[in-house]
A and B are shown apart, each in its own frame.
Chain A
Amino acid sequence: MMKVKVHVTLRESVLDPQGTAVKNSLHAMNYHEVQDVRIGKYLELLIEPSDRPIEETVKEMCEKLLANTVIENYEFEVEEAVTQ
């Protein structure tokens, strides 16, 4: 089995109101060194290997469903899942 870790984040050009609220809160706690906060999503997929390259399949899933590319970017990494 393969484990795929997908990160979905808002594109640079899109304002992130949640991130801004968290940044303001960190500043209020005196962490003034924080320049920016962006909030995203993390998804883990367990995938059974098939004939099709897994990168191709996951890219398709990201484009179709996991991310909305109008407002979001995605990146993912594939690793061998450790069997219990």
Chain B
Amino acid sequence: MKFAVIVFPGSNCDIDMYHAVKDELGEEVEYVWHDATDLSQYDGILLPGGFSYGDYLRSGSIARFSNVMSEVVKAAEEGKPVLGVCNGFQILLEAGLLPGAMLRNQGLKFICRPVELEVVNNETMFTTSYQLHERITVPVAHGEGNYFCDEDTLKQLEKNGQIAFRYADDNPNGSLLSIAGITNKEGNVLGMMPHPERAVDGLLGSADGLKLFQSIVKHWRDSHVVNA
């Protein structure tokens, strides 16, 4: 399976993402600059964290109009897995690939620490390697991760099983329903504030994030490789 890590001016988790896929997951991966106009050769699209375009105006609002984003939309429509982490999640929200928006953390502080998550849906292509309600430890690092949407959207998210991860116990940022990660209705676009790519080896304090990437590969092999 071949992944693209999209690099925007101001991305800073691109190297972690690349390392997670290449060294820990053992799959092919390439950096793709934000002005790329063709993603057809990639099987999975990864939008890393950071501060694209300095977070000017709103997080993700300017990156959303990069050349590559129309290709990301195309990949999403084709059913390819699209994962946005942290700033990548914010970009997916601004692009309308996921519903809702991000507000400043309720406590106004930038939070950077490991948090415990609950796997709320383990039937998405990103979560099949987890148990339902499994608790995993993954770090967060954000100032704007306070997920918000209107009531109808929230009901839809719950009803359709689009909430993939919730903060277990403590909600660090005030997000609605303690949401940490959501998918689109089709289930092939996941946005999450915690960084699974920073939790792929015991040396990093947790390897719980690796199963997310393994789930993507498993889903891809099951549907693309004959006699897998």
- In the complex, whether B101 has a CB less than 8 A from a CB of chain A is yes
Q: A14-B148, A65-B61 are in contact. Are A71 and B101 (CB under 8 A)?
A: yes
Is A57 an interface position by the 8 A CB rule? no
CB pair B103 A71 closer than 8 Å: yes
Contact partners of B103 in chain A: CB under 8 A: 10, 14-15, 17, 71
* Chain A: interface size category: 10 to 19
Q: Do A70 and B57 form a contact, CB below 8 Å, given A18-B108, A21-B108?
A: no
Q: Which of B100, B104, B106, B174 contacts A70 (CB 8 A)?
A: B100
Q: Residues of A contacting B65 with CB < 8 Å?
A: 65
Number of B residues near A (Cβ < 8 Å) is 20
Provide the main secondary structure of the chain B interface: loop
A76 CA to B217 CA in the complex, in Å? Answer: 49
Residue B78 lies at the interface, judged by CB distance under 8 Å to chain A: no
Q: Which residues of B contact A47 (CB under 8 A)?
A: none
CB distance from A28 to the nearest CB of B (A): 16
Of residues 131 to 148 in B, which have CB atoms within 8 Å of A's CB atoms? Answer: 146, 148
Which residues of chain B come closer than 8 Å to A18, judged between CB atoms?
A: 104, 108
Q: Which residues from chain B contact A2 at a C-beta distance below 8 Å?
A: none
In the complex, B26 has a CB within 8 A of chain A: no
Return the chain B residue nearest A13 by Cβ. Answer: B150
The minimal Cβ–Cβ distance linking A61 to chain B, given in whole angstroms, is: 12
What's the Cα separation between A17 and B58 when bound, in Å? 16
Q: Chain A contacts of B61 at CB under 8 A?
A: 65, 68
Determine if B205 is an interface residue (Cβ-Cβ < 8 Å). no
Q: How far is the CB of B200 from chain A (nearest CB, A)?
A: 32
* Residue A66 lies at the interface, judged by CB distance under 8 Å to chain B: yes
Q: Is B94 an interface residue (CB 8 A)?
A: yes
Shortest Cβ distance from residue A56 to the other chain B in the assembled complex, whole angstroms = 20
The 0/1 profile, CB within 8 Å of A marked 1, for residues 110-142 of chain B is 000000000000000000000000000000000
B149 is an interface residue with CB less than 8 A from chain A: yes
Point out the residues of chain B lying under 8 angstroms from A41, CB to CB.
Answer: 57
Near B by CB (< 8 A), chain A positions 10-67 give 10, 13-15, 17-18, 21, 41, 65-66
* Interface set of A (CB-CB < 8 Å, partner B): 10, 13-15, 17-18, 21, 41, 65-66, 68, 70-71
Chain B residues in the interface with A (C-beta under 8 A): 57-58, 61-62, 65, 94, 99-101, 103-108, 146, 148-150, 174
The 10 closest A-B pairs by CB, nearest first: A70-B101, A71-B101, A68-B101, A17-B106, A17-B108, A17-B104, A68-B58, A71-B148, A21-B108, A70-B100
**New A-B contacts (4) at CB < 8 Å, excluding given A17-B105, A18-B104:** A15-B103, A17-B146, A66-B57, A68-B101
